[in-house]
């Protein structure tokens, strides 16, 4: 087998976003496009000769082809071993778990997460470092710098490797080890949660649940954990077979895209509990009977109940949430006497806090929750955490949430997304806000008075690195907030995200529809940012 050095030319658009490089499949299919990015990853790393890489993806279209290319490039570049998920399948949290368990050098995850898949859909690639987490900004910036200069890449000229049969084969000097996609992850879950107690709940003859994998990567994990280990009846997991195009759907676990599940949980004779995961298995949506749990509330509730769960029975070191996430977790942290950190959007910013033992639980408003058990957010982990709490407390999801509001108050929360906005218009909107919001201090809008306006800047408390321009914030004197930022995961035009939050301690006012409770703030957001005028859209495309 021959190692070929292939000449190439840089692409100018290979800047990793919030979570890796995401583009249309057709872009990744351009000659050398994938190879350039992979070689740029390798060129930005040091000391990987002879070391082990973990490789897998969410099973979307182009996953298998990309894996073959990456295997041949890893071999040509001198990796000693690649552990690849069977059939190319590894969820994002499973990859993180495997990197940590086996102490590998790093891992490559092929996913565009919740973005649609298929030949016309999206593809993505992300590098994770040896702690199991997404590469921090200094690494992604080095990768991007390299993509702008690259002039060749190395690849082994060899035939494709069998990635469907468990076991080891040689590819040039490198070992390809095909591993079971779910075993290590399942064992980790068993070490954190009280499976016996959850099984007792699920099999008590009364409790009913439904899990929707949206035809994405969590199917095999969910079948194994809920149906095989925890005794849930067959059929509990729906849409459990990973498909290359996710069955034509949008594998995003929210009230809009997980409509099958929503219909069941809000329909007649609804079960007690429902949950969905995204394309790569790191997101979760939690539903009770006729009841939706806001992701920000979910983080706060997991934190408040953590001592009921074996893996967290000794308490939490701290909580971390992304800046746009509601301040509900802050209230719990205060009550527990622990720190609550506020980081920019994206899981990579939690890595240092987790490594340093400052935070135990982390979460984002975008249906992401996780802990120090790995270095990624983890969808099924959150589902098991909820089930463990339900099994101990023997109350419904709704009762638990409402009791939480009664103690801590309710943080009404909503995110309004304006998708496929013209990029120039979106940039103008944000640029205008950047210059105008610092001057709003003291200004009144109806019942609200502005306390501060800024563009969020984060200084990592562990390594001192600074990340600027992470979202425009307007804070009001009563603790309400409006946040504006542009998505870093889309592949078409720009997506404007508007995050809205208000606080209600009065029990009598805690049962409003969030859109109603936030109506005044929604109008203020439009007044300040001129959203309708600048985007040309009269309402958001997605409300979560
Ligand atoms: C979005 C979410 C962010 C999340 C990121 C990756 O990013 O807002 O909270 O970390 O997706 O999640 P953005 O830049 O589009 O707002 V995933 O499950 O897509 O890997
Ligand atoms: Co995801």
Q: Where are the alpha helices (DSSP H) in 360-498?
A: 379-393, 397-408, 423-436
**More confidently predicted of 189 and 1:** 189
313 φ, ψ to 5°? -65, -20
pLDDT value, residue 19: 86
Mean pLDDT of the chain, nearest integer: 96
113 in catalytic set: yes
Q: How many CB atoms lie within 10 A of CB 35?
A: 20
Measured in whole angstroms, how far is the alpha carbon of residue 462 from the centre of its chain? 22
pLDDT at 159: 95
Task: Tell me the three state secondary structure of residue 59.
Answer: coil
Instruction: For residue range 128-140, list pLDDT tens digits in order.
Output: 999 999 999 899 9
Q: What is the pLDDT of residues 414-460, one digit of tens each?
A: 999 999 999 999 999 999 999 999 999 999 999 999 999 999 999 99
Ligand 1 atom closest to the Cα of residue 365 is 9
- Over pLDDT 70: what percentage of the chain? 100
| Probe residue for ligand 1, chosen from 93, 135, 346 as the CB with the greatest number of ligand atoms within 8 Å | 346
CB distance 96 to 234 below 8 Å: no
> Can you read off the two tokens belonging to residue 394?
């023997």
**CA 23 to centroid of ligand 2, rounded, Å:** 15
- Chain-centroid distance of CA 464 in Å reads 24
Encode pLDDT of 275-327 as tens digits. Answer: 999 999 999 999 999 999 999 999 999 999 999 999 999 999 999 999 999 99
Contact at 8 Å (CB) between 282 and 253? no
Provide the residues around ligand 2 (an ion) whose CB is within 5 A.
Answer: 113, 278, 280, 282-283
**Pairing mode, strands 52-57 and 81-89:** parallel
Is residue 521 within 8 A of residue 482, CB to CB? The reply is yes
Instruction: Give dist(CA 27, CA 37) in Å, integer.
Output: 12
DSSP bridge partners of 177:
83, 168
d(CA 456, CA 351) in angstroms, rounded, equals 19
Distance (Å, rounded) from C-alpha 265 to C-alpha 544?
17
Which sign does the torsion angle of CA 14, 15, 17, 19 carry? positive
Predicted confidence (pLDDT) at residue 492 exceeds the cutoff of 90: no
Atom 6 of ligand 1: nearest residue by CA position: 19
Q: Domains in the chain and their CATH numbers? A: 2-181 (3.40.120.10), 185-408 (3.40.120.10), 411-543 (3.30.310.50)
Q: Which of 113, 181, 366, 480 is catalytic?
A: 113
The DSSP annotation for 462-493 comes to: TT--EE----EEEEETTS-EEEEEE-SS-SSS
CA–CA dist 272, 309 (Å, integer): 20
- Cα–Cα distance for residue pair 23/344, rounded to 1 Å: 22
First to last CA, the chain: 52
CA distances in angstroms from 191 to 220, 384, 386, 506, listed in the order given: 19, 12, 16, 40
**What is the atom index within ligand 1 of the atom nearest the CA of 364?**
9
Ligand 1 centroid to Cα of residue 376, in Å, is 12
Rounded to an integer, the average pLDDT of 332-358 is 96
The secondary structure of 159-203 as a DSSP string is PPP--SSSEEEEETTEEEEEE-SSHHHHHHHHHHS-HHHHHHHHT
Q: Of the bound ligands, which one is closest to the alpha carbon of residue 345?
A: 1
Report pTM: 0.94
The dihedral sign for the CA sequence 405, 410, 411, 414: positive
Check whether 15 has a pLDDT greater than 90. yes
**CA–CA gap between residue 377 and residue 354 (Å, rounded):** 12
Q: Is the CB of 489 under 6 A from ligand 1?
A: yes
pLDDT in tens, 66-116: 999 999 999 999 999 999 999 999 999 999 999 999 999 999 999 999 999
Q: How far does residue 452's CA lie from ligand 1's centre (Å)?
A: 26
Q: Is the CB of 499 under 6 A from ligand 1?
A: no
Please work out whether the CB of residue 366 comes within 6 Å of at least one atom of ligand 1.
yes
Please work out, in degrees rounded to the nearest 5, the angle formed at the alpha carbon of residue 212 by the alpha carbons of 382 and 232.
80
φ, ψ for residue 205, nearest 5 deg:
85, -10
C-alpha to C-alpha distance for 484 and 482, rounded to whole angstroms: 7
Query: ipTM strictly over 0.85?
Result: yes
Q: What is the DSSP letter of 233?
A: P
- With the most atoms of ligand 1 within 8 angstroms of its CB, the residue from 123, 345, 363, 419 to mutate is 345
Q: Is the backbone of residue 332 left (phi > 0), alpha (psi -120 to 50) or beta?
A: alpha
**Token pair in block for residue 400:** 């638990």
Closest CA to 345 of 477, 483, 444, 219: 483
Length of the chain: 544
Alpha carbon distance 452, 438 (integer Å): 7
In the chain, DSSP finds a helix count (H) and a strand count (E) of 18, 27
Q: Which ligand is nearest to the CA of 115?
A: 1
Give mean pLDDT, residues 389-410. 98
Q: Which atom of ligand 1 is nearest to the CA of 497?
A: 16
Q: How far is the CA of 368 from the centre of ligand 1 (A)?
A: 9
Tokens of 123: 């593809």
Per the CB < 8 A criterion, the answer to whether 129 and 136 are in contact is yes
Token readout for 114 is 């919740």
Verify whether ligand 1 is closer than 6 Å to residue 113 (CB atom): yes
pLDDT of 18 over the 90 cut? no
Classify residue 123 by its DSSP letter. E
Q: Contact 78/48 with Cβ under 8 angstroms?
A: yes
CA dist 228 and 313 (Å) reads 26
Q: Are 99 and 107 in contact (CB under 8 A)?
A: yes
Section 455-480 average pLDDT:
95
pLDDT at residue 493 is higher than 90: no
């Amino acid at each position: 087998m021959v190692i070929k050095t292939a000449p190439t030319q840089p692409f100018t658009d290979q800047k990793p976003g919030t979570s890796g490089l995401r583009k249309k499949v057709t872009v990744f299919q351009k000659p050398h496009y994938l190879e350039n990015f992979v070689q740029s990853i390798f060129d930005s790393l040091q000391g990987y000769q002879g070391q082990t890489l973990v490789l897998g993806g969410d099973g979307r279209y182009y996953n298998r082809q990309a894996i073959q290319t990456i295997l041949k490039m890893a071999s040509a570049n001198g990796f000693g071993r690649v552990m690849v998920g069977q059939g190319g399948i590894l969820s994002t949290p499973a990859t993180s778990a495997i990197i940590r368990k086996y102490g590998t050098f790093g891992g490559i995850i092929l996913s565009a997460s919740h973005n649609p898949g298929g030949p016309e859909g999206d593809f993505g690639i992300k590098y994770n470092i040896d702690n199991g987490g997404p590469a921090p900004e200094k690494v992604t910036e080095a990768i991007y710098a390299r993509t702008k200069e690259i002039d060749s890449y190395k690849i082994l000229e060899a035939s494709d490797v069998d990635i469907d049969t468990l076991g080891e084969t040689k590819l040039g000097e490198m070992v390809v080890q095909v591993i079971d996609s779910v075993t290590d992850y399942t064992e980790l879950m068993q070490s954190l949660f009280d499976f016996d107690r959850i099984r007792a709940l699920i099999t008590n003859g009364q409790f009913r649940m439904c899990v929707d994998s949206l035809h994405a990567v969590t199917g095999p994990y969910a079948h194994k954990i809920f149906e095989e280990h925890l005794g849930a009846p067959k059929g509990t997991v729906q849409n459990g077979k990973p498909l290359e195009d996710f069955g034509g759907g949008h594998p995003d676990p929210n009230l809009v895209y997980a409509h099958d599940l929503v219909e069941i949980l809000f329909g007649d004779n609804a079960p007690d509990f429902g949950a969905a995961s995204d394309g790569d298995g790191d997101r979760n949506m939690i539903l009770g009977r006729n009841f939706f749990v806001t992701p920000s509330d979910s983080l706060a509730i997991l934190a408040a109940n953590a001592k009921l769960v074996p893996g967290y029975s000794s308490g939490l070191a701290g909580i971390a949430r992304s800046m746009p996430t509601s301040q509900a977790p802050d209230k719990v942290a205060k009550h527990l006497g622990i720190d609550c950190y506020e980081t920019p959007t994206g899981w990579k910013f939690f890595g240092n806090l987790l490594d340093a033992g400052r935070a135990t639980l982390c979460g984002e408003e975008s249906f992401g929750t996780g802990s120090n058990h790995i270095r990624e957010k983890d969808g099924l982990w959150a589902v098991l955490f909820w089930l463990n709490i339900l099994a101990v407390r023997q109350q419904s999801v709704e009762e638990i949430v409402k009791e939480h509001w009664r103690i801590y108050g309710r943080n009404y929360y909503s995110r309004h997304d304006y998708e496929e906005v013209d990029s120039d218009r979106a940039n103008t909107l944000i640029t205008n806000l950047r210059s105008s919001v610092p001057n709003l201090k003291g200004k009144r809008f109806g019942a609200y008075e502005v306390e501060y306006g800024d563009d969020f800047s984060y200084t990592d408390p562990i390594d001192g690195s600074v990340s600027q321009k992470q979202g425009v914030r307007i804070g009001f004197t009563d603790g309400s907030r409006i946040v504006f930022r542009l998505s870093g995961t889309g592949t078409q035009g720009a997506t404007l995200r508007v995050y809205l939050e208000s606080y209600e301690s009065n029990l009598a006012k805690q049962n409003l529809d969030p859109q109603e409770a936030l109506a005044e703030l929604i109008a203020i957001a439009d007044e300040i940012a001129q959203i309708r005028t600048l985007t040309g859209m009269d309402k958001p495309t997605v409300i979560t």
